[in-house]
């Protein structure tokens, strides 16, 4: 079987097992009255906490000691088993600790799946820059399919979503064991200092000005990503409380399907990444992503299920650029600007900055801010919430434009830097 097809299956399932619950956990949490916005922010911050630690650790392990595909398989099986326990969690605190354990298993598999794909494609003689984006598209399709399955099976407000994700994750873990071996690339470094022996060489990337700035702004954009994941579906579902629309509104009944337009848009923008990176370089591509976040949140602020439905739809379309031009382009930028010996470690570091530190700040701060400034009794001031988020993204874009410097020779040619 062609390795590209096998990696396509891996990518599809990788994001199916996340998409089945990530967008709808807020609807489940608030619909079952499990706690406050701040408690929900804490639960969502488990994605960040796990990303602070696990991707870097697992990247080091995959670079130095254990085949990446075996480590990946073990983590997916453990993740699936933990999701099966969600129906037994009856309080916000119980759910917090379980989701934290599940995220410790799942989050590092995102960067590991990238490293596995890059390694196997390179070993097979494929051009990673050209071949990987079409494979990664199927990850987005998997996310979309999972969202539709959750919505159409009536699972978006109950624990069934976690059982679906858990079952597929266990199957994915078993599938990973059948992939070609991705042996540690850094077994013999010839360097005996403690820093290298612990596999921490990727942190030396912070000594390079452009790489350090790239990681720092990735952290800030990581915060923005969590905001839309946390509150997007809940925002649309809350229109049921407005007498102008009610629970029978199309937007309310099919909120998850509408949100999936964001992932459909991803599939288009992923395919444009090689062109945009070569034509504009990483700085402009990242700026496009930041400005897309400004529009993503701003359009939500003024959208509604009636005359301004087009704003909600357009916001979902723009999300494709906001996510891909940051997340996928960033991963490729890391891949093409680091040595193969620290490939998994560098991808894990990128994950730590985005889904780790950035996501932690975004989820914790947003939950506190909403409870403090944007609650009117039991109702959220969604207009103010989304405008606040939009201004945040605009400020980040301005600082990035001023501080990050282009390097056309490296960025436009997308050549491996050693």
User: pLDDT band for position 418 (50/70/90)?
Assistant: very low
pLDDT value, residue 173: 94
State yes or no: pLDDT of 54 exceeds 80: no
pLDDT value, residue 409: 56
State yes or no: pLDDT of 334 exceeds 50: yes
Cα–Cα distance measured from residue 356 to residue 364, given in angstroms and rounded to the nearest whole number: 12
Mean per-residue pLDDT over the chain, rounded: 83
Location of structure tokens 């009255």: 33
DSSP state string for 19-50: HTTTTTHHHHHHHTT---HHHHHHHHHHHHHH
CATH topology of domain 3-184+194-413: Growth Hormone; Chain: A; (1.20.1250)
pLDDT value, residue 252: 84
Q: With contact defined as beta carbons under 8 Å apart, do 236 and 312 qualify?
A: yes
Using alpha carbons, list the distances in angstroms from residue 414 to 190, 241, 333, 340, 344.
Answer: 28, 50, 8, 15, 19
Q: Which residues contact 90 (CB under 8 A, 6 or more apart)?
A: none
208-220 pLDDT tens trace = 888 888 888 888 8
Burial class (CB in 10 A: 0-12, 13-18, 19+), 157: middle
pLDDT value, residue 416: 33
User: Quick one: which H or E segment has residue 380?
Assistant: strand 379-380
Domain ranges within the chain, ordered by starting residue: 3-184+194-413
pLDDT value, residue 6: 92
pTM for the whole structure = 0.72
Of 17-26, 234-243, 341-350, least confident by mean pLDDT is 341-350
pLDDT value, residue 310: 94
Where is pLDDT greater, at 72 or 347?
A: 72
């Amino acid at each position: 079987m062609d390795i590209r097809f096998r990696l396509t299956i891996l990518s599809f399932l990788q994001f199916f097992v996340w998409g089945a619950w990530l967008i709808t956990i807020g609807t489940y949490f608030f619909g079952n009255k499990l706690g406050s916005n701040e408690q929900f922010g804490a639960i969502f911050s488990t994605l960040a906490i796990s990303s602070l630690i696990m991707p870097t650790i697992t990247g080091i392990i995959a670079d130095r000691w254990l085949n990446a595909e075996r480590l990946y398989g073990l983590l997916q099986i453990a993740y699936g088993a933990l999701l099966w326990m969600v129906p037994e969690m009856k309080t916000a605190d119980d759910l917090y600790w379980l989701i934290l354990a599940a995220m410790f298993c799942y989050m590092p598999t995102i960067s590991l799946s990238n490293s596995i794909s890059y390694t196997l494609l390179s070993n097979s003689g494929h051009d990673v820059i050209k071949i990987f984006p079409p494979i990664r598209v199927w990850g987005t399709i998997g996310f979309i399919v999972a969202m539709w399955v959750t919505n159409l099976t009536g699972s978006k407000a109950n624990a069934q979503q976690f059982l679906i994700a858990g079952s597929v994750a266990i199957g994915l873990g078993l599938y990973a064991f059948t992939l070609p071996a991705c042996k540690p690339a850094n077994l013999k470094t010839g360097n005996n200092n403690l820093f290298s022996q612990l596999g921490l060489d990727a942190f030396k990337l912070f000594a390079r000005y452009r790489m350090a700035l790239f990681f720092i702004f990735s952290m800030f954009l990581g915060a923005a990503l969590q905001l839309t994941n946390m509150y997007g579906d809940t925002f649309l579902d809350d229109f049921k409380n407005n007498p102008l629309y009610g629970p029978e509104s199309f937007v309310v009944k099919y909120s998850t399907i509408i949100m999936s337009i964001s992932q459909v848009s991803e599939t288009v923008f992923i395919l444009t990444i090689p062109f945009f990176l070569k034509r504009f370089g990483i700085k402009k591509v990242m700026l496009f992503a930041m400005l897309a976040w400004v529009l993503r949140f701003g359009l939500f602020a003024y959208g509604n299920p009636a005359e301004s439905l087009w704003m909600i739809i357009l916001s979902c379309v723009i999300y494709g650029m906001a996510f891909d031009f940051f997340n996928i382009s960033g991963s490729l930028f890391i891949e093409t600007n680091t040595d193969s010996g620290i490939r998994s470690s560098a991808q894990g570091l990128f994950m730590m900055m985005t889904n780790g530190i950035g996501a932690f700040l975004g989820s914790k701060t947003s939950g506190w801010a909403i409870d403090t400034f944007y609650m009117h009794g039991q109702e959220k001031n969604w207009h103010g919430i989304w405008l606040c988020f939009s201004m945040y993204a605009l400020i980040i874009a301005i600082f990035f434009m001023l501080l990050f410097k282009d390097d056309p020779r490296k960025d436009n040619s997308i050549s491996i830097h050693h």
